[in-house]
Structure 1
Amino acid sequence: MVTITDLTPPRSRSASVSTTSSDAALPSFESLAPPRPPTTKAEEETRVVVEGLRDEVRLKVDAGPGCGGIAWPSGEVLSRYIAYRHGLDPSCLQNKKILELGSGTGLVGIVAGILEPSCEVWVTDQSILLDLMKVNAELNLPSTQHKRNVHVAELNWGEDLPKSIPVKELDIILAADCVYFEPAFPLLVQTLCDLAPIDKEVEILFCWKKRRKADKRFFAMLKKHFNQFPVDDDKPGAKEVYSREGVSLMRLVRKK
């Protein structure tokens, strides 16, 4: 069970979050979102090559909402891994219900939806990024399809899970580049625990890029609730390439 004592960050100059008792409520994810000035224009577009897809993935990017509106290295690594695995064994995604946390542009979830039309994917983030994810889903999924298999939903870490998502039926949880803002660490751990309660069978693929010493604190918090296993079945040579860039790909398994 996750407790507020486990998750509440200590007071520091770098964090504006503090609590006065062990039963204090966690701050909202939206209130912790770091404001950032725009570094790209809303109409800018990037393209991501993912081996196994017929076409490049087109992404509208916009850094105006913050760091989530652009493509980051871990998202590309995770996208290429699921594409490689699907190429070897399509059943890994067939008829699966998949949720991506902190989707930003929606890249990873969109790739999963393109790879396997039979799966259903929910790409999630704060409300300010929903329109961007909707545009990117429309750019990459067939417009003739009556109902797209990639759905866009708001999900703020640490808050109640949306009723629009069939949480109990989820088979796979994807997360890439979610470790970037220290005050949000306890909220992310809380949400991972909510999505993967003890004894629930769900695969969690977690990809992140090492940037700061503070990241160690997140994984110390995570270790209380999840075992962490490096992914070792990626395309030969792929791990060596992304490891040099400080990117790690792992599976999380909820502790009993």
Structure 2
Amino acid sequence: MVNITDITPPRSRSASASTTSSDVALPSFESLAPPRPPTTKAEEETRVVVEGLGSDVRLKVDAGPGCGGIAWPAGEVLSRYIAYRHGIDPSHLRNKKILELGSGTGLVGIVAGMLEPSSEVWVTDQSMLLDLMEVNAELNFPASQTKRNVHTAELNWGEELPDSIPIKDLDMILAADCVYFEPAFPLLVKTLCDLAPIGKDIEILFCWKKRRKADKRFFAMLKKHFNQFTVEDDKPGAKEVYGREGVSLSRLVRKK
């Protein structure tokens, strides 16, 4: 069981949403990042090249909901890693149930679903990003496909996990560019703990771009519950390239 006080950062003048009292509930994710009207237009589409996928990933982008509605470097790094690994050994994704946290555009989860039709993937985020993720899933899977293997679902960090996702059966968690909003750090750690309880065999791939000193607070919270290991089996030379851009890719393993 995760103690809220273990993942709550100390109170500071710049983090009014934080609390040191276990009697005070964590704020909701939506209250910390309130929704804004969408701004997507028909022509606002980008394409992401993922080697080994066979086709570009088409993405509608939307700055209306904030930073979640556009593609970020760590998402591309994680997408290219799972594609590279799948090319060597498809069993990593075959028949797996996969959840992407903080999906935004849905890029990483969509790539996983495109790579391996036998997988079942849930791309998740706040409610105001559901339509964008749904549009992007539809863009990348033919309308003639009888059963799409990429699903969209609302999942707010720090809150109860949705019943629409088979949480207990998940084999893999994907998370890219989720470390950016300091008040949400304890919420993200709590959700990771809920998805990967002690003793559960689950792979967690976590990719992020170093931006601010405050990010160290997140990893200090995370370290109480997870061991973190740098991914070493990426395509030769890839880590050096994205490392120069401040991007890191790790596996998280729940501590016993």
Q: TM-score over 0.5 for the alignment?
A: yes
Q: CA deviation at 1:46?
A: 0.7
Q: Structure 2: which amino acid aligns with 1:129?
A: L
Matched residue, 1:46:
46
Q: CA deviation at 1:12?
A: 2.1
Matched residue, 1:202:
202
The 2-side partners of 1:172 and 1:29 are apart by 23
Contact between 2:10 and 2:20, CA under 8 Å: does it hold in 1?
no
Q: CA deviation at 1:119?
A: 0.2
The normalised TM-score by structure 1 is: 0.96
Q: Structure 2: which amino acid aligns with 1:141?
A: F
Matched residue, 2:30:
30
Task: Give matches, 1:128-167, under 5 Å.
Answer: 128-167=128-167
Q: CA deviation at 1:23?
A: 2.6
Matched residue, 2:228:
228
The 2-side partners of 1:148 and 1:135 are apart by 13
Task: Give matches, 1:73-84, under 5 Å.
Answer: 73-84=73-84
SS class of match (1:117) = coil
The 2-side partners of 1:220 and 1:19 are apart by 16
Task: Give matches, 1:92-103, under 5 Å.
Answer: 92-103=92-103
**What root-mean-square deviation, in Å, do the aligned CA atoms of Structure 1 and Structure 2 show?**
1.5
The 1-side partners of 2:37 and 2:190 are apart by 29
Contact between 1:34 and 1:66, CA under 8 Å: does it hold in 2?
no
* 1:188-225 residue CA offsets vs partner (Å, 9 max, x unmatched): 00000000000000000000000000000000000000
Contact between 2:28 and 2:158, CA under 8 Å: does it hold in 1?
yes
The 2-side partners of 1:19 and 1:54 are apart by 48
Matched residue, 2:173:
173
The normalised TM-score by structure 2 is: 0.96
Q: Structure 1: which amino acid aligns with 2:161?
A: L
Q: CA deviation at 1:14?
A: 2.1
SS class of match (1:100) = strand
* 1:104-141 residue CA offsets vs partner (Å, 9 max, x unmatched): 00000000000000000000000000000000000001
Change beyond 3 A, Cα 1:24–1:150: same
Q: Which runs of 5+ in 1 are unaligned?
A: none
Q: Structure 1: which amino acid aligns with 2:218?
A: F
Q: CA deviation at 1:16?
A: 2.5
Percent of aligned positions with the same letter in both sequences? Answer: 86
Matched residue, 1:122:
122
Contact between 2:29 and 2:158, CA under 8 Å: does it hold in 1?
yes
SS class of match (1:143) = coil
Contact between 1:123 and 1:153, CA under 8 Å: does it hold in 2?
yes
SS class of match (2:250) = strand
Contact between 1:182 and 1:214, CA under 8 Å: does it hold in 2?
yes
1:214 equivalent in alignment to 2:208: no
Count of residue correspondences: 255
The 2-side partners of 1:218 and 1:29 are apart by 16
Matched residue, 2:68:
68
Contact between 1:102 and 1:176, CA under 8 Å: does it hold in 2?
yes
The 2-side partners of 1:35 and 1:166 are apart by 27
Contact between 1:106 and 1:137, CA under 8 Å: does it hold in 2?
yes
The 2-side partners of 1:47 and 1:60 are apart by 9
